[in-house]
Amino acid sequence: MKRREPNPGINRRDAMKLISTGSAAGLLGMYGDPLTRSENSTTPSYATGVPAIKIKSVKAIATAPEGSNLVIVKVETTEPGLYGLGCATFTQRAVPVISAIDSYLNDFCSGKDVDNIEDMWQSAYVSSYWRNGPVLNNALSGLDMALWDIKGKRANMPVYQLLGGKCRIAVDCYAHASGPTPEAVVESVQKFIAQGFRHVRIQQGGYGGVGTMEKPPDFKQAGFGRESDMYMDQRTYLKRVPMMFDAVRKRCGEDIELLHDIHERVDPMDAINLIKSLEQYRPYFIEDPFSPENMKWFRQLRTTTSVPIAMGELFNNINEFRDYMVEQLFDYIRIHISQIGGITPAMKVARLGEWFNVKTAWHGPGDVSPVGHAANGHIDLAAWNFGIQESHIWNEKAQAVFPGCQTYKNGYMYINEGPGLGVDINEKEAAKYPIGTKSNWTLRKGDGTIIRP
């Protein structure tokens, strides 16, 4: 359908008179019937609008080029060659997400207009009646991002332009330094400083130091749990973290910004005391001090220490963290964007944070697909209250599956500036790397008690 052109023969007062007297037919007569009006070659392209396009199909594509399960949604349209891609990656439970996409979203979306993203999000969100879970939210995210991708392609613009345009030249990132000893962590940090990174997250022996525990756990000797279950000694971890910070600060200087992820693995009061002890090393932020089951401890943390806090990769829904953002109980919001339903809700979270000095630090490891990283990047460029972005450098296999992956230079992430999200998928390459079903987080104390997460 073509957009109507203004009629130079009618002024505003005449038009208002016709509307107030209910003469819609008279107005139509003056403007001409948009369905039958002849083409005017002088009409500027922006005034002609875009033709209506419908969703033809919605399907899941699963692939694991680096070992982690990645799920992509492909939305095909009635316009030949026009499709959109979105990230629906819930690595640990990829199969139910695929089922939600292929069995439910395809039927729900087919035949609907591609343009009405907000309406599609709202209607799909409640279409199952019960909602807010990670499976359905990830499926919804795949649809949502794919519709933004399509809208960008139709507008011939990168998605960040549709979100308001750039606030910055590129996306500042942090890298991941790790090693079995403080000395190894120092060397890893120095390597990233040499590459131009200004921010580095430091972890000794993986989250909670699980890779470097010296004492064998009693639960394994007793044959409790599975042999593959991970083990963490919380006291050892709590003693080691300040020593690691001390070594890195002494050897790497004051200019590098240091981050650390507690990953919710210690008791709340232990987390508070640990963070307090790290003040002298001036952390950029400490991540995920408490599990989502322990949110009320943030109030005590805030009155105890001024170390900046990042929180939230396990959040599923704004209602879990809205009040904590508004109360300014953490400084960085760290959601996994596909986990809350895609770009549409993530932009709302970012805008909410602007009013309460909560910056964004979206989750961005190897279990967010390149399409998801692109979505992170488009929001990072457009949101004024962007804080920092977690980086992930893809291997050659992943880059072959996903042409248009993000790139890094001097500590900045650069997204492909093509129309839409800028990332494509090679389905033949993707099929070479089937997903697995053995992705479990099982972590225990020495006596076998399960640690969250």
Q: Please state the closest distance from residue 285 (CB atom) to Mg ion, in A.
A: 11
Residue placing its CB nearer to Mg ion in the complex, 153 or 201:
201
Q: Please state the closest distance from residue 223 (CB atom) to Mg ion, in A.
A: 32
Q: Annotated catalytic residue: which of 83, 125, 207, 237?
A: 207
Q: Please state the closest distance from residue 408 (CB atom) to Mg ion, in A.
A: 19
Residue placing its CB nearer to Mg ion in the complex, 312 or 353:
312
Residue placing its CB nearer to Mg ion in the complex, 172 or 288:
288
Q: Please state the closest distance from residue 336 (CB atom) to Mg ion, in A.
A: 9
Which secondary structure element, helix H or strand E, spans residue 444, and what is its range?
A: strand 443-444
Classify residue 311 by its DSSP letter.
E
Q: How far apart are alpha carbons 285 and 276 in whole angstroms?
A: 12
DSSP characters over 326-347: HTT--SEE---HHHHTSHHHHH
Residue placing its CB nearer to Mg ion in the complex, 208 or 217:
208
Q: Using DSSP, how many helices (H) and how many strands (E) does the chain show?
A: 18, 15
**Does the annotation mark 263 as catalytic?**
yes
Half-sphere exposure of 306 (CA within 13 A, CB side): 2
Residue placing its CB nearer to Mg ion in the complex, 23 or 439:
439
Q: Please state the closest distance from residue 293 (CB atom) to Mg ion, in A.
A: 16
By the criterion CB under 5 A, which residues form the site for Mg ion? Answer: 261, 313
Q: What letters, b where the CB count within 10 A reaches 16 and e where it falls short, cover 43-52?
A: eeeeeeeeee
Task: Note the helical H segments in 309-426.
Answer: 322-326, 337-340, 343-355, 370-382, 396-401
**Does the annotation mark 207 as catalytic?**
yes
CB 375 within 8 A of CB 144: no
Q: Please state the closest distance from residue 207 (CB atom) to Mg ion, in A.
A: 8
Residue in the structure block whose two tokens are 């980086």: 391
Beta strands in 43-100 (DSSP E): 55-63, 70-77, 83-87
In sequence order, what are the residues at sequence separation of 6 or more whose Cβ sits closer than 8 angstroms to the Cβ of residue 149? 84, 85, 86, 159, 420, 421
Q: How far apart are alpha carbons 97 and 114 in whole angstroms?
A: 22
Q: Annotated catalytic residue: which of 176, 199, 260, 263?
A: 263
Q: Please state the closest distance from residue 388 (CB atom) to Mg ion, in A.
A: 13
Residue placing its CB nearer to Mg ion in the complex, 76 or 313:
313
Residue 304, helix vs strand vs coil: helix
Nearest to 217 by CA among 441, 450, 442, 445: 445
CB 311 within 8 A of CB 288: yes
CB 209 within 8 A of CB 232: yes
Residue placing its CB nearer to Mg ion in the complex, 403 or 453:
453
Q: What single-letter amino acid sits at 315?
A: F
Residues belonging to the active site: 207, 263
